Amino acid sequence: MTKIERRAMLKTIGLASFGALSPNLLKGETLREPYSVSEKPITTDILIIGGGTAGTIAAIQAGRAGAKTTLIESGSQLGGTTTTGGVSFPGIFHAWGKQIIGGIGWELVLDSVELNGDKLPDFSKTPERHWKHQVAVNPALYSLLAEEKCTAAAVDVRFYETPTMVEYKEGRWFVESVGKGVKNQISCSQIIDCTGNALITSMAGYDVLREEDTQPGSLVFSMGGYDLKSLDLAKIPKKYHGYLRQNMLESQIRSTGENTSVPYGYVYVKGADSTTAETHTLANQKGRQNLLDLIRDLRGLPGCENIRITNMKTETAVRETYRINGEYKVTKEDYVSGKIFDDSLSYSFYPVDLHRDGKSIYQEFLKPDIVASVPLRALIPKSSRNFLVAGRCVSSDRLANSGLRVQASCMGMGQAAAATAVLAHKNGTTPSDVSVDDIKELLRVHGAIIPGEI
Amino acid sequence: MPFRIESSTTIHTVFRSCLPFALLLCINSCFLSKKAIRYSVEPTFTANNDDQKKKLTSFGDSLFLVEAKDGLPDYYFQQYNTGVCYDNKCRPLSISIYWSVTGRYLGFELPKEEFLSKTDHEPFVPEDYEFLNKLLANPDLPFADIEYYELMDQPSDAVESVDAVSGATSARVSNIVVKGAVYTTYSLWNIVHGRSQEFIQEHTGSIVTTHLIEKILRDSNRSDKVWVLERFPENIEMTSLLLDTIEALIVNSDFHLAYTAIHAIKAPRLNSEAIQEMLFKAYAKSNDPSIKSLIISKLGQAPFLSNGVINVSRSCVDELKGQELVDLLKLLKKHEVKDDQTLQAVENLLSSDNVFIVRQAQKFLKQIQISNE
């Protein structure tokens, strides 16, 4: 008897004895096969990894442009920072009285606002605080609409999966992706890394960069059980005032027309990094512990004895981890001067906004009429083939990145990267060889705003 | 019921608490001005020079509505005459505030030989008046949410005192008050954006006519247009002139005006073919994908789709991509549009080289087939 035959026989005996030992099956019950990991090959045109702020938009764009599209997301819903991270007031889509980021990201935001019965602010008025033009959305609706649009675009969304191997062979990428009970061998023409952490870029062997000290993450929450107006703040240490005030600002989920306040109750999480399961677990644990500590402290303050947590996001939102070393690195000077490159495909508008050591924020506001832009080359890792990134890992120096990392900018990058990838696929080439004019034309068709054209 | 400023808790509180520190109208012969001091936000606004000749409607408490020559409401004004106490001395205050028919601040006027002064008794200089006028015209200032004792950085029990005019201006408001006249700015802003404004808006809302709406939407200030669109009456007659005006606003490059104009059309209105067709004309002309999407979404609320809209939309089908195609097919499906010409137009999409478009066409045709069965 060969080894395999013997094993099969033992298995049969085992099953038989299990059947003999198991109680009689009730009506409707069946004995199932033991758990096993199914393996299958998947062939696609565009593979997008990361279904967050940039990846969701990229997937919809690629699908609508007619490409067979696969989207891998390690979590359970789309939207990333906007939904799972709780920063559900994406921005900034408008600058100096004009819309500067449109396309699919804006479409999703507008649809969320409409379906929630909310009202947009008047963007023609430049607000005294930049974040007042961030648009609060109902995160649940945003996630649902994102998924619906992906489905309509025939995007194969694969939740709970993460790549374990990436290899480029003979003009195609081969990616092994593992999730609960699945192990897929994905073959694709183009990859867009939307992990935010440049994870796939690094796995593919291209250079990634990281600061020695990264900006902290934020665990978003809200509290109840106190009345800010009746608190005697003179008796409460100043370090708690921000928590108490921010939490009382309205509109994480809006019930009225006014929508522009930042409802940003959060605790900082130093060194938060969502790149691996271990670092991500640590970021979440630290955030939760920091929140617990805060709540205990607050409950000891006069007027805050009944404070309680009313909502907490399940994950710590991350600001900064890795950046790619791209064909071009956007500098702070490019950013604050509003430089428009020949291959600029989307705008970005936010102050240089560096959260330092979890204690202070370095902010440098853009001067009137200045709007930064993102060139295609900053989305292409140096020396790469058939590979793009979109999102906060865009090739940029640290200060430029602190402005580029925000949601609307990432959405714009996602759409631009996908349009490029689709054309590269159709032409059988690599992104850097695609005609920039063709990319811009495709983006226009899908409602995007091209730098220099407003 | 006549307007009664005394009945307003907010205004009463403002007058009782703030004006004693604030509206320092000094009648000091050394500083008398020869001409009435008058500031307005619109250079063309001529205020009350000939108010005596115009038709005035009084609401009590010196609040008046002035009619234009065409008989339409033109603007409102209110004369405030009250005692102002400062340093335990009371003096009369007289000031007129002007509002547009939508309650938008237009300007103020002081009687001849009166002027505003600061806490140190220095009279306002022209720059102060100009800045005050600019501040009063800004409805977004946070004064409605600020208690008057929060204006100064000092203990709250101290500011209740009549003489409590010293102390540093709070950093929260220091950039949005006339220097040295924090209470004056605060008090006047709360008068301008207080109960009278609310009354004016309610009153205009109750007397609004098609002609007034047309006039506001054609000629007025942008915020007046937004105001009227946000309160668009449901039963007003929609003349062709009004429809043309609304269409022009939707096609306009000003997103907020277009957005508000679309939302001004409520679902019950959509049983009018003329309104549907106006919306679709705007759809065809607009260059903004968001506006197009909102129009299609609005038409989705109609009880039926007019033949005019169906005919034009059918001809658009082969030009649309992405979400615009999804939206239009969804609209046609919702209204069960399945005439031969429409089906042919959609079938033509099956030959597209974009599989997304092919898929949308297949989905539409399949849904129609199912509904036929």
CATH 3.50.50.60 residue spans of chain A:
40-211+320-445
Give pLDDT, residue B161.
Answer: 36
- At A149-195, the pLDDT tens digits run 999 999 999 999 999 999 999 999 999 999 999 999 999 999 999 99
B359 shares contact with chain A (CB less than 8 Å): yes
> What whole-number percentage of chain B has pLDDT above 90?
56
B290 shares contact with chain A (CB less than 8 Å): yes
- Mean pLDDT, rounded, for A124-138: 81
What secondary structure, in 3-state letters, does chain A show?
CCHHHHHHHHHHHHHHHHHHHCCCCCCCCCCCCCCCCEEEEEEEEEEEECCCHHHHHHHHHHHHCCCCEEEEECCCCCCHHHCCCCCCCCCCCEECCEECCCHHHHHHHHHHHHHCCCCCCCCCCCCCCHHHHCCCCCHHHHHHHHHHHHHHCCCEEEECEEEEEEEEECCEEEEEEEECCEEEEEEEEEEEECCCCCHHHHHCCCCEEECCCCCCEEEEEEEECCCHHHCCHHHCCHHHHHHHHHHHCCCCCCCCCCCCCCCCCEEEECCCCCCCHHHHHHHHHHHHHHHHHHHHHHCCCCCCCCCEEEEECCCCECCCCEEECECCCECHHHHHHCCCCCCEEEEECCCEEEEECCCEEEEECCCCCCCEEEEHHHHCECCCCCEEECCCCCCECHHHHHHHCCHHHHHHHHHHHHHHHHHHHHHCCCHHHCCHHHHHHHHHHCCCCCCCCC
Cross-chain Cβ contact B355/A125 below 8 Å: no
Average pLDDT, chain A: 90
CATH of domain A40-211+320-445: 3.50.50.60
A 270-289: CB under 8 A from B: none
A147 shares contact with chain B (CB less than 8 Å): no
- At A337-377, the pLDDT tens digits run 999 999 999 999 999 988 876 677 888 899 999 999 999 99
Cross-chain Cβ contact A120/B259 below 8 Å: yes
- Whether residue A92 is preceded by a cis peptide bond, meaning omega within 30 degrees of 0, is yes
pLDDT band at B15 (very low <50, low <70, confident <90, very high): very low
Give pLDDT, residue B303.
Answer: 96
Give pLDDT, residue A242.
Answer: 83
A154 shares contact with chain B (CB less than 8 Å): yes
- At B157-183, the pLDDT tens digits run 443 333 334 567 777 788 899 988 888
> What whole-number percentage of chain A has pLDDT above 90?
74
Residue of A nearest to B324 (CA): A446
Residue A75: CA atoms inside 13 Å, Cβ hemisphere, count?
Answer: 23
Give pLDDT, residue B21.
Answer: 35
Residue of B nearest to A94 (CA): B255
B contacts of A120 (beta carbons < 8 Å): 256, 259
Nearest-Cα distance to chain A for B290, in Å, is 7
Name the residue facing A64 among B226, B297, B322 (closest C-beta). Answer: B322
Cross-chain Cβ contact A110/B255 below 8 Å: no
Mutation site for B-interface testing, chosen from A44, A110, A415, A443 by largest number of B Cβ within 10 Å? A110
- At A38-91, the pLDDT tens digits run 999 999 999 999 999 999 999 999 999 999 999 999 999 999 999 999 998 898
Q: What ipTM is given for this predicted complex? A: 0.85
Higher pLDDT, A257 or A371: A371
Cross-chain Cβ contact A107/B226 below 8 Å: no
Cross-chain Cβ contact A64/B290 below 8 Å: no
Name the residue facing B290 among A106, A125, A152 (closest C-beta). Answer: A106
Quote the CA–CA distance of A257 and B152 in Å, as a whole number.
32
Name the residue facing A445 among B259, B294, B322 (closest C-beta). Answer: B322
B contacts of A447 (beta carbons < 8 Å): 289-290, 322-323
Mutation site for A-interface testing, chosen from B290, B296, B330, B364 by largest number of A Cβ within 10 Å? B290
Nearest-Cα distance to chain A for B161, in Å, is 21
B297 shares contact with chain A (CB less than 8 Å): yes
Average pLDDT, chain B: 82
B12 pLDDT above the threshold of 80: no
A11 pLDDT above the threshold of 80: no
A114 shares contact with chain B (CB less than 8 Å): yes
Give pLDDT, residue B41.
Answer: 86
Name the residue facing B256 among A123, A149, A154 (closest C-beta). Answer: A123
A contacts of B353 (beta carbons < 8 Å): 66
Cross-chain Cβ contact A66/B140 below 8 Å: no
Domain architecture of chain B: domains with CATH:
5-197 (no CATH), 209-372 (1.25.10.10)
Count of C-beta atoms within a 10 Å radius of residue A428: 10
B266 pLDDT above the threshold of 90: yes
pLDDT band at A102 (very low <50, low <70, confident <90, very high): very high
Higher pLDDT, A169 or B187: A169
A258 pLDDT above the threshold of 80: no
Nearest-Cα distance to chain A for B354, in Å, is 5
- At B313-349, the pLDDT tens digits run 999 999 999 999 999 999 999 999 999 999 999 999 9
Give pLDDT, residue B25.
Answer: 37
Q: How far is CA B301 from CA B185, B304, B317, in A?
A: 46, 9, 20
- Mean pLDDT, rounded, for B107-112: 90
- A156-191 exposure pattern, b = at least 16 Cβ within 10 A, e = fewer: bbbbebbbeebebeeeebebebbbeeeebebebbbb
A105 shares contact with chain B (CB less than 8 Å): no
- Mean pLDDT, rounded, for A244-261: 50
Strands (E), chain B: 24-25, 38-40, 56-58, 63-67, 73-86, 89-100, 105-109, 116-117, 152-153, 168-169
Nearest-Cα distance to chain B for A249, in Å, is 13
Name the residue facing B255 among A123, A153, A446 (closest C-beta). Answer: A123
Residue of A nearest to B175 (CA): A128
